[in-house]
Amino acid sequence: MKKIRILVCDPIHDDGIKALMEAGFEVELQTSISGSELVEAVIEYDALVVRSRTKVTKEVFEAGIRLKAVARAGVGLDNIDLEEAKKGGVEVLNSPEAPSNAVAELVLGLMLSLARRIPEADSSMKRGEWIKRRLTGSELKGKTLGIIGFGRIGYILGKKAKAMEMRVLTYDVVVDQLMHLVEEVGAEAVSMEELLKESDFVSLHVPLLPQTRHMIGAREIEVMKESAYLINAARGGIVEEDALREALTIGRLAGAALDVFEKEPPEDTSLTGLRSTVCLPHIGAATEEAQRANSTIVAKKLIELLSRG
């Protein structure tokens, strides 16, 4: 019987690789493989393991005559051509449960950074300045957090925010199916308009789909308070960056925290360079715990799928 071969295209935690090898699969690591190289190589493999760097395109699926599965060690699937996968009968797996707490904790950190002006205070100290009188911030207690998308991350973030005595509003297109979670957290399900209008912090937790691309643009920002902060640790394309840059430049919003961008890394620094922004290089899931979970969860799912033949 031919041995099942798996190509790991991006770095994942060793525990997942170990699990795949112990299951009897042949695992090869090519963690810097290019798109054109993948099209040539995929013919030899039964499964691919990727993160966000590798794009699994139509050309990859067409060339992958042995391909049975693509496993994304992480949440988003926007780097995988799902239509082509379905057409070719290729299973697409991911691990949305793995990084949820890591991302929720990061968002909480970003909220504190914005409210207490922590990055500005730190950079001023490194310049040898003492600008204590200019760094009056605000507390999270008593403020309103609006969570757009109340899935795993939104739910965990809501619980953490309530523990900090914040009011939590949430909007989700399938909120009726999530009401038990909304009630468990002690949040309030509201319309998008009401959430934008009343929130001091708006945090985005939706996937990047055609219907969510640029869901936060000039019109939505206009509804928000001038004292509000926008946080995006989901996907870059959800926010219309030109509109956000304009709003921050003219003082229409107090600030923004971004862990994701439409183009990564961003070539234009006119948004990331603003004093009113806190910007990170897509590190939402970059914790030891989340990376181990990403790796082991997709490995387990792959083993179950491929062992069934």
Q: Which of 51, 235, 241, 262 is catalytic?
A: 235
Cβ-based neighbour number of residue 222 at 10 Å: 12
Q: Which of 167, 213, 282, 292 is catalytic?
A: 282
- Give the closest residue to 6 by CA, choosing from 71, 99, 51: 71
Is 198 assigned a catalytic role?
A: no
- Give the closest residue to 59 by CA, choosing from 32, 75, 72, 41: 41
Is 235 assigned a catalytic role?
A: yes
Is 84 assigned a catalytic role?
A: no
C-alpha R_g of the chain: 21
Q: Which of 37, 44, 83, 264 is catalytic?
A: 264
Give the pair of three-digit tokens for residue 35. 């798109």
Residue 6 β-bridge partners: 27, 47
Give yes or no for a contact between 54 and 9, defined as CB atoms under 8 angstroms apart. Answer: yes
Helix (H, G, I), strand (E, B) or coil at 29: strand
Q: Which residues are catalytic?
A: 235, 264, 282
